[in-house]
Amino acid sequence: MSPVTPFCAQDYAALAQDRLPAATWAWLESGGADELTANANRNAYARLKLRSRVLRPLQGAHTRLELGTRTLAHPILIAPTAWHGLVHPEGERATAMAAAATHTPLIVSTQSGIAIETLAGLNPAPALWFQLYAQTRFEDTLALAFRALKAGAKALVLTVDAPVNGARNVEQRSGFRLPPHIRSVHLQGLSPPHPRPAEPGGHPLFSTGLLEAAPTWDDVRRLRDALGTTPLWLKGILDPDDARLAIECGVDGIMVSNHGGRCLDTVPSTLGALPDVAHSVRGQIPIVLDGGIRRGTDILKALALGAHAVAIGRPILHALAVGGATAVAHLIQILRGELEVAMALTGCRTLADVDSGVIWEPTRKVSDGRAA
């Protein structure tokens, strides 16, 4: 039975499932193939335990941080997700209003149903970043980038882990189809891909030509050169070697992400991949993590393992489906409050105090008992 009043992210998920058509829910929730990675994203947090600390000084506690060149009030961003209009008639406009009210950066999707210019014109307007998908023609990728910057985007986030879609069997079984009134407005007028029909008895994917325009590290370098000093992030990094290559290409930050488990199934959870990536980066650029976060304790664990901030995806759409801008703002405040409670009960006055020592290790050696 769904809750009447939502008190946590999972309450919003239960309410959203009651309100949305089954096929839309399948589109929103489905992972790739057997959904092992999608489930692992969430389950990884439950396996980690926190180390409770007492009698630590907490006066003047706050959650401010520097992320790249920006000062943020808290370490939560809204991840780029497509077609908010599928779950609420105001779509991304409502999400942006909530972002502005809670001082939360919104990463606008290439597949947004509302143009970034419209979102930038809201009063008050949120801090907007823009997610890029590499287009068939590099010129179109640049056109999207400069359009977003002209509208006021503070950073660009190139998604690099989805040159093709994963096999989303749950979504396929549901019969989901994008309604005709929902469109990816930023892609209008650009050159769409023109895949060839697969050869009978031949390669189902490799013979279609879809991968011929897939982005490479050379394209990242070209984009970096073309953008000058504009902050450029890569979204979809799971491997420490790729993290090092990203730094060599001059990017300003990376997002540890597996596309919500919607692309390649059986890759690690984002939380599982994070420590090796953070060790590889060694603090040279900031790291944002997404995937599976449902509690403030999840945020604390991600920060403890090397993330500087987190991005929230599906829960934003759950809240949007339930109550529009007001509900999204409420969800963000819930997560912020849970994070602050978790910080206080682990003895962390600021985010600078959050490190691997927050994680409980059963083999930890007993200290001499002196105050930390």
Residue 52 pLDDT > 50:
yes
Task: Specify whether the CB–CB gap between 106 and 339 falls below 8 A.
Answer: no
| CA proximity to 258, closest of 10, 25, 31 | 31
Name the pLDDT band for 199 (thresholds 50, 70, 90). Answer: confident
If you search the block for the tokens 């972002």, which residue do you land on? Answer: 99
User: Helix 270-281 to helix 36-47 angle, to the nearest 10 degrees?
Assistant: 70
* Other beta carbons within 10 Å of 337: 11
**Average pLDDT over the chain, rounded to whole?**
95
Q: What distance in Å separates the CA atoms of residue 100 and residue 3, rounded to the nearest whole number?
A: 27
Give the torsion through C-alpha atoms of 65, 70, 73, 78, to 10 deg: -110
**pLDDT confidence tier of residue 366, bands split at 50, 70 and 90:** low
Q: Which residue has the higher pLDDT, 207 or 68?
A: 68
Q: For residue 275, how many C-alpha atoms fall within 13 Å in the half-sphere facing its CB?
A: 8
Kindly give the interhelix angle for 296-304 and 270-281, rounded to the nearest 10 degrees. 30
Alpha helices in 177-254 (DSSP H): 217-227, 240-248
For the segment 47-53, the average pLDDT, to the nearest whole number, is 97
| Contact between residue 312 and residue 294 where contact means Cβ atoms under 8 Å apart | no
Q: How far apart are CA 128 and CA 43, in angstroms?
A: 30
- For residue 263, pLDDT over 80 is answered with yes
Fill in the amino acid letter for 304.
A
Amino acid at 59: Q
Q: How far apart are alpha carbons 318 and 20 in whole angstroms?
A: 9
- 55 conformational bin, left if phi > 0, alpha if psi -120 to 50, beta if neither: left
Q: Across the strands, what pairs with 65?
A: 72
Q: Domain ranges in the chain? A: 9-52+62-176+209-357
**Is 84 annotated as catalytic?**
no
* DSSP for 155-188, written as a single string: -EEEE-S-SS----HHHHHHT----TT---GGGT
Structure confidence at residue 371 (pLDDT): 47
CA-based torsion, 164, 167, 171, 176: positive or negative: positive
Q: Which of 6-15, 84-93, 211-220, 314-323 has the lowest mean pLDDT?
A: 211-220
SS3 (DSSP) at 133:
strand
Give the pLDDT of residue 367.
52
Q: Report the candidate in 66, 99, 107 with the shortest Cα–Cα distance to residue 309.
A: 66
- Distance, in Å, from the CA atom of 223 to the CA atom of 152, rounded to the nearest integer, reads 18
Interval 200-213 mean pLDDT = 82
3-state secondary structure of 43: helix
Q: Is 103 helix (H, G, I), strand (E, B) or coil?
A: coil
Catalytic residue among 88, 259, 308, 330: 259
Q: Mind listing the pLDDT tens digit for each residue in 275-325? A: 999 999 999 999 999 999 999 999 999 999 999 999 999 999 999 999 999
Of 348, 330, 318, 262, the residue nearest 20 (C-alpha): 318
- pLDDT value, residue 372: 43
Question: At 368, is the pLDDT very low, low, confident or very high (cuts 50, 70, 90)?
Answer: very low
Looking at residue 265, its amino acid is D
Phi/psi at 99 (nearest 5 deg)? -60, -45
Question: Residue 206's pLDDT band (boundaries 50, 70, 90)?
Answer: confident
CA distance 339 to 352: 14
Domain 9-52+62-176+209-357: homologous superfamily in CATH: Aldolase class I (3.20.20.70)
**Mean pLDDT in residue range 331-343:** 98
Instruction: State the amino acid at position 277 in one-letter form.
Output: V
